[in-house]
Structure 1
Amino acid sequence: MTSAVVAQISISSAACEAVGTAYRTDCLAKELQALVKKLPAQGEYAAAREALATASAELAGLSRQNRDNSQPRLRITVQADSETKRRPVSAVKPETVAETNAKALAILEDTTTVLLRSVEGNNDVALHYQRIAQALNSSKVLLRS
């Protein structure tokens, strides 16, 4: 399961990298939301699911607050588990791109912290969550200007 999650974060990051910086916050929100749907609500991955769901919701809200309705919605294509998904993503206003991406970066940093803290004392699950946090960390490069 961990390998699938890490791989999907990597694939999602590559797909979001292909769109302009104005679209990346919404892209990451949609990709995390899709990932959350694949994680079990109970058991070892429940805390990871909750942390990623929170991040997705916060990123979506941030994107919505700064949406640029004058820009077209793009359809990104993401390969996931032998199926291809096409998701529409929206741009943020050009004047808010830097600030929006900085806030999105902070959301991802908070999420990695939550992931790492949620398994303190549970060595069986800690390695899995560390790998997920590391994959999420690598996607932060998309938001740096």
Structure 2
Amino acid sequence: MSGFCKAAPLWVALFMWQLTVPVLAGGDAGSGYGSGGSAKAGLSFGVTKTVAKTLSRGFSRCSRLDWSYRYDCYRLVYKRSADLLRGNPAYSEALKALVLVEDTLDTAVKKNRDPAQKPKRRGFEVYQPIKPEAVPKVTRQTEQAIEKAEIILLRSPANKQEHYTRIAEALNSNKVLLRSALLPGSIIRFAAHVLGHALQRG
């Protein structure tokens, strides 16, 4: 009995040490890379799929908004997607590409902000409107930024192509949505909207 009592503190210490090892090691060793940081840096089909889905689903949600609000919505989509890659050097080119578009949209929205329209809230996000007459110009600027981002992705090292091609395809879907703003029917609607907007201000 006395032998057990003497050995007990050592046994308890070993038990507590085993409990703390996973915590010190950063949790589950097989957890991979997730939002807000990386438990395991490197190329991952899970990360690539998550980024591509975040982009595609975000673009789809933004397309339900009026054009004046879509660009700030797109900006936040690019920001969320870029945040998934921060801290993972294997995706450095992809991060650069997404931030390029995000920064272009951020500058365009701030420069063309429409004080006559109120921000629009959707869930936890708030979108700032741009002036209706600025939509064609901002559309072209965003499209050009996306094309530059695609070049960055498609010129990446060969071992990253399979991952980056999927992200580039998601960006292209945004470009297709943007081009719909410049179709003849859309331009006519923009003109009517701008005219009505100007009359309200007058």
What range describes the TM-score normalised by the shorter chain of this pair? Answer: 0.7 to 0.9
Deviation per CA, 1:97-120: give whole Å up to 9, x if none: 111112111111111111112x1x
Higher relative contact order (CA 8 A, sep 6+): 1
Aligned to 1:107: 145
Deviation per CA, 1:12-71: give whole Å up to 9, x if none: 111110111111211111111111111133322122112211210111101111110111
The alignment yields a C-alpha RMSD, in angstroms, of 1.3
Q: Provide structure 1 residue ranges, at least 5 long, that are not aligned to the other structure.
A: 78-85
Q: Give the letter for the 1:108 counterpart.
A: I
Number of corresponding residues: 134
Give the distance between the partners of 1:102 and 1:33, measured in 2 at CA: 20
- Say whether residues 1:95 and 2:133 are aligned partners: yes
Give the distance between the partners of 2:148 and 2:165, measured in 1 at CA: 14
Give the distance between the partners of 1:134 and 1:43, measured in 2 at CA: 21
Give the distance between the partners of 2:177 and 2:120, measured in 1 at CA: 17
Structure with the higher strand share, 1 or 2: 1
Give the distance between the partners of 2:176 and 2:51, measured in 1 at CA: 18
- Say whether residues 1:127 and 2:162 are aligned partners: yes
- Say whether residues 1:26 and 2:61 are aligned partners: no
Aligned to 1:116: 154
Larger radius of gyration: 2
SS at match of 2:71: helix
Q: Provide structure 2 residue ranges, at least 5 long, that are not aligned to the other structure.
A: 1-46, 182-202
Question: Displacement of 1:93 after TM fit?
Answer: 0.5
TM-score (norm 2): 0.63
SS at match of 2:122: strand
Q: Give the letter for the 2:98 counterpart.
A: L
